[in-house]
Amino acid sequence: MTPYDVGLLILRLVLGLTLAAHGLNKFFGGGRIPGTARWFESIGMKPGKFHATVAAATETAAGLGLAAGLLTPIPAAGFVSLMIVAAWTVHRSNGFFIVKEGWEYNLVLAASAVAVATVGAGRLSLDWLIFGKNWFDGWHGLAISLGLGLAGAIGQLLIFYRPPVKESA
C-alpha cells in the first residue's frame, strides 16, 4: 500500500458516496421518486417516473461502484452520462459557476471520475482484489469512461429530452 493508493481510495470514497447519497435521496428523501418524477417532467425529461427511477438507480450504482473500485471505468461512465445530462438539462443556461446554479460541479464530478478510471482504482479496490490489478486503466479506462458516458448521455438526450416551451410575456 502506498500514499497513491490511499489517495485514490479517499477520492473514490468521496466521489462515489456523494453520488450514491444523491441517488438514495431520490428514492428515500423529500419528494422521493414521485416528486423527482414531477421535477424531471418540468425540465423536459419525459416520462418523468422512468427517468427519476433510472437516475436514482444509476447514481446509486455508479457511486457505489466507483467507491468500491469495481470495474472502475463503467461506474465512471455513469458519472459522465449523469453529469452531462444534468448540465445540459438544468445547469447550462445558468453559466459556469455553481453559485449561480451553473455546471461547474457537474464538470468536477465527471472529470474526477474519468481521472480515476484513467489511473485505475488502486490497490485498495475490488478491481485489485478480484483481478490482481487495475481493471482496464490507462487509455482503455479513459476511452471506456468517456465513450460509454458520452454515448449514454447523447442517446438519452436525443431520445427523451424535450425542453419545455417558454411562454412569452
pLDDT in tens, 89-128: 999 888 999 889 899 999 999 999 999 999 999 999 999 9
The pLDDT assigned to 132 comes to 97
Integer Cα distance of 154 and 85 in angstroms: 8
Place of cell 438539462: 89
On whether residue 165 sits in a domain, the answer given is no
Place of cell 410575456: 169
Segment 51-74 mean pLDDT:
98
Place of cell 436525443: 158
Question: Structural domain tally of the chain?
Answer: 1
Rounded to the nearest 10 degrees, the angle between the axes of helix 32-43 and helix 3-28 is: 90
**pLDDT tops 70 at residue 169:** no
On whether residue 166 sits in a domain, the answer given is no
Q: Is 42 helix (H, G, I), strand (E, B) or coil?
A: helix
Distance of CA 23 to the CA centre of its chain: 10
pLDDT band at 166 (very low <50, low <70, confident <90, very high): confident
On whether residue 127 sits in a domain, the answer given is yes
Instruction: Give 9's contacts (C-beta < 8 A, 6+ positions apart).
Output: 69, 122, 124, 125
The DSSP annotation for 55-90 comes to HHHHHHHHHHHHHHTSSTHHHHHHHHHHHHHHIIII
Query: What is the pTM assigned to this prediction?
Result: 0.93
SS (H, E, C) 151-162: HHHHHHHHHHEC
pLDDT band at 4 (very low <50, low <70, confident <90, very high): very high
DSSP 31: T
Predicted confidence (pLDDT) per residue in 117-135, tens digit: 999 999 999 999 999 999 9
Q: Which residue segment(s) compose the domain that 42 sits in?
A: 3-160
